[in-house]
Amino acid sequence: MNVTEIMAELQAKGSESIKKILVKHGVKEPFFGVKIEYLKPIQKKVKKDYQLAKDLFATGNADAMYLAGLIADDENMTRADLQTWAEQAVSNNISEYTVPWVTAGNPHGFELALGWIDSPTEHIAASGWAALSNILALWPDSELDIEKLRELLKRAEQNIRQSEDRVCYHMNSFVISAGAYVAALADDAMAAAHKIGAITVDKNGTACKVPVATEYIKKVWDKRGGIAPKKKEVKC
């Protein structure tokens, strides 16, 4: 399949009612309003395609950009590719899911995420924290910089309430991921979670809630008898 064929299929699957829902969740024009279930058959057909993923992302259409993340060849994305994606990801579903997923699957992902969290641009900083959360859930502990991650837990604890909403949300998710997936960080994450407590962000009238980190981490520990096993895949 090529970009023209895929865009035509996406347009045919678009829905105005889905668009209205997605707009409330921070998805920005242009996009058709395609359910993820309609993207999956295309993903299955294409599987993985580095250039096609880049071409779809470059359309600027949020549906195509989401699909690009599903078929991206994560390991072969260059630093420049990922930087471009982070900068262009103005829709929440792309900046907080697509870009972080692909970044977590890239060998340069940790370094890039560390740079992004310092960005003054909200969607880029949110991408950075979300990528870190995915890295913790995906990468073996032996590949993680535990001391740097401890520093980031302290940073989240100290700065979360002064951060912009999307950054705040993903800082909280980072704390949860550290407590849920990394044994060496579990106690530090729970301590940070206790100090953070419950947080509130503007969810634009949707029913989405911000999980309380202490409760979420404890639920994982209780269910697993300790930390959760690493994920094999973060994309969905």
pLDDT per position as a tens digit, 135-148: 999 999 999 999 99
Q: Hunting for tokens 């990801």 — which residue is that?
A: 89
Our measurement of the distance from residue 3's CA atom to the centroid of its chain's CA atoms, rounded to an integer in Å, reads 24
Coil/strand/helix, residue 165:
helix
Mean pLDDT, residues 163-188 taken together: 97
The string of pLDDT tens digits covering residues 155-171 is 999 999 999 999 999 99
pLDDT, tens only, 1-31: 899 999 999 999 999 999 999 999 999 999 9
Q: What is the pLDDT of residue 156?
A: 97
The residue type found at 146 is I
Please give the distance of CA 226 from its chain centroid, rounded to a whole number.
Answer: 24
> Comparing C-alpha atoms, which of 136, 162, 160 is closest to residue 149?
136
pLDDT of residue 180: 98
For the chain, the straight-line distance linking the first and the last C-alpha, in angstroms and rounded, comes to: 21
Residue 23's alpha-carbon distances to 17, 27, 70, 129, 208, in angstroms, are: 10, 5, 21, 22, 14
- What number of residues does the chain have? 236
Residues 6+ apart with CB under 8 A from 17: 33
Tokens in use for 17?
Answer: 């009612």
